[in-house]
A and B are shown apart, each in its own frame.
Chain A
């Protein structure tokens, strides 16, 4: 026993001798903002990164040519301070001011900008993530260190919304094959507010403040993105004080943090919407029908009646927990320049919908289910994702609403990949879908053009709804070439009005972005738009850059106590193991011989 105790105290002393290091280190510990990432990071190479979490980290390291204002998202200075366009809108001249520096001290010049864009225009791999921005570029040149000249083939509306991280030529010209370059060298050569300082795949990504950032240094020292597999785990970590900032929460998770000490919630206008797509006639670009959609859905009167019979407010209240805004067109209210307020809001009116279907020639059969002129009963499949609680709950709700209309709905929840396959092949009647939107509306609008449909029955297009409408397409072409913001906004709204009237899909609601932070460690964050906007997943990095630590922020509090517990665990294991060994030896030493 004496030996056991001595062994225990020796290991204990060894561990305790190591422990005092921790509190001293803690005393000098930098002020750190710890943020959860639940989404995977596909790459730190800004030419390859496509996932939101990855592009956000790219933005922290590399400024774009221009940025979006925190308050109202209008274009503001980033790498370029000023810009002008030629009379024919084909030539843009950007000025890169003197005095901005890469984090290794080299000046940021127009040559870096030209290098970045030219790389994307000549190297296919470099065009992986953001190639669409430069696809219409004819040439990019830097006649001197301060001037960038971009010539486009046709006028391009997104010239002040080029979401392309500008990289340092003196570093990236040494890179061999872009596709093979992970860009995880630390410290990174950054132009943005943060510098990559440590990367551990699937554990965490550490950045430190760029003290020489031209806008001014961030107000704290380090920014850590910590990887969590589930939002539940991240919420728990925030509650325990292991994290300072969490987003992408569901209504239940958000509500669970309500009223907790030291935690502040942020309910923000979001960029994502949920929709119910109606198969209005899946076909290829040449009009050859594909899939097996129900013929009655080709009739716009049926689609309108369905839209009228679904109570969107009730779905938002019951399924979204109230954390969503009513949908009209695909573009959410967070982008007021393009969001549609319909001329005439479609009322929730099941009685009127019933009457309209009666008049349109869909009488009720003996079992109460309506029947079309072809004798086919109105029995629709509604396909949703097994992985999404929203689809299950909203599906049941829609099933109930349409039953009142004399339409039978069979809700089928399937795996995401199977759903994608069925959607692409047009094998559905009703299907749940959803998208995140950008400040520039072009992409989200393009999903409903005739050209987005598949080229042949064996290929897949980018279409969301198989919608093909001449009026919509004409407006789409016009808005793409319209450089006057007011006129473009008008065209975009007319497109959405057409979408709203023709009902290729019903926008069920624009989700709120639900975020929470530890207000005992960080006093405030910059939101975008301000007020009412998000901290994370902004169109910029104002949220991280503008974070203000609380006066007595004791960040990293879990470190030392964690070390202590870890030490105790090690001591227990060592002492336990030692005791067993000693006990055995004692037994053996007293052993009788056979």
Chain B
């Protein structure tokens, strides 16, 4: 391993390299974000249908009113000018107003972020813990019955569509868990009853999300640990007289963890999107459900807003993963 000598190269140069690296990553992220904004704007303009017709659906309006609405929202302007306005507003932090709810997109997204983070956060935490643990155990005793069984089960979950598994779980568990929502309307106020009720409602959506995603953490962890297992430094560690599980925990796992960390961060970004189906099945009042509603309209400003936020989450997590990688792995820092 040539890491130590490189890492010890002139500290000043290294500091500049880190800054440049960070700046490069941020620049890349901003470029991606700009692409997302452009794509989001023009992509959703391809959806057939007139936004003003969507806005007035089910209402008795005459043509003058429709023309007025169109002018009010700028839909009568050339598309390039509309885009200019949109970007200008976005830079000022204004994502527009939902056609359906007649409230600002920022406000709507703000009120849905909490439930999504709660659901996705909890399930990711459990899925990562479960996946890593199973992956480590499986790799350490490769081809054992435990390894084969746990890999098989994980792949089965990975192969199942989230919405189907969700409906199945809801049916199989009968009266044990609520069929949807985040809490019962009749639950008394107060921290404990509310928290327990939310926990109760979270079980099925959480289990569904965990079941369909944990396999990837397990498999990546398993394969990267397998790669490390024949490394010389493990033989050295054993030769020093360390117990088997210490060799695993102190030497093998930290090295094998690197690719998994990247994966975890990439997926936190993606899981927000993946929650769309689960949130829809369980009527969970989160961002995924909001996206679904926006698409059903289609509610253009809301759709653009959720698209930018969801894509933005993926990009931010990407950058975080890159930066964290630097902290964790001296080889990346040095290069």
Contacts and interface: CB of A to CB of B under 8 A. Distances in A.
Interface of A: 15, 18-19, 21-22, 25, 29, 32, 34, 40, 42-43, 48, 50-52, 129, 132, 179, 182, 200-204, 206, 224, 226-230, 233, 236-237, 240-242, 415-418, 420-421, 424, 443, 454-455, 459-462, 555-556, 558-559, 562-563, 565-567, 569-570, 587, 591-592, 594
A43 B101 contact: yes
B27 to A, nearest CB: 38
Chain B CB within 10 A, most for which of A200, A556, A566, A570: A566
A60 B237 CA distance: 74
B182 A563 contact: no
B178 A237 contact: yes
Given A228-B283, A418-B49, A592 B185 contact: no
Contact of A592 (B53, B182, B242, B283): B242
26 contacts: A15-B192, A25-B188, A32-B185, A34-B185, A42-B100, A48-B102, A203-B183, A203-B285, A229-B283, A236-B180, A237-B180, A240-B179, A242-B179, A417-B54, A418-B49, A421-B48, A443-B60, A460-B50, A460-B53, A556-B184, A562-B184, A562-B200, A563-B193, A566-B198, A569-B202, A592-B242
Contact of A50 (B58, B203, B243, B281): B58
B1 interface: no
A43 B243 contact: no
B32 interface: no
Contacts of A19: 192, 196
A34 B186 CA distance: 9
B8 interface: no
A42 B285 CA distance: 15
What is the interface of chain A mostly: helix, strand, loop, or mixed? mixed
B101 A592 contact: no
A558 B177 CA distance: 10
A559 B180 contact: no
A559 B184 contact: yes
Query: Which 7 pairs show the lowest CB-CB distances between chains A and B?
Result: A417-B49, A566-B200, A566-B196, A18-B192, A556-B186, A224-B185, A25-B188
A132 B180 CA distance: 38
Given A182-B103, A236-B170, A240-B179, A569 B200 contact: yes
Interface string B93-127: 00000001111000000011000000000000000
Interface stretch (B61-69, B78-86, B137-145, B264-272): B61-69
The interface centre, meaning the residue of A29, A34, A200 with most chain B CB atoms within 10 A of its CB, is A200
Nearest to A14: B192
A32 B63 contact: no
A179 B197 CA distance: 35
Contacts of B31: none
Given A236-B179, A417-B47, A229 B280 contact: yes
Given A42-B101, A230-B280, A454-B63, 19 more contacts: A18-B193, A48-B102, A202-B289, A204-B185, A228-B181, A229-B289, A233-B281, A237-B178, A242-B178, A424-B50, A460-B53, A460-B66, A563-B196, A563-B200, A565-B200, A566-B201, A569-B202, A570-B196, A587-B249
A42 B111 contact: no
Given A226-B181, A228-B181, A566 B100 contact: no
B102 A43 contact: yes
A40 B54 CA distance: 14
Contact of A563 (B62, B112, B187, B203): B187
A569 B199 contact: yes
B75 to A, nearest CB: 13
A201 B48 CA distance: 29
Contacts of B59: 50, 129
A558 B179 contact: no
A569 B61 CA distance: 52
A182 B101 CA distance: 10
Contact of A424 (B53, B188, B202, B203): B53
Nearest to A414: B48
A459 B53 contact: no
Contacts of B187: 559, 562-563
Contacts of B298: 417
A202 B60 CA distance: 26
Nearest to B199: A566
Nearest to A422: B48
A591 B249 CA distance: 11
B232 interface: no
Contacts of A461: 63
Contacts of B246: 591-592
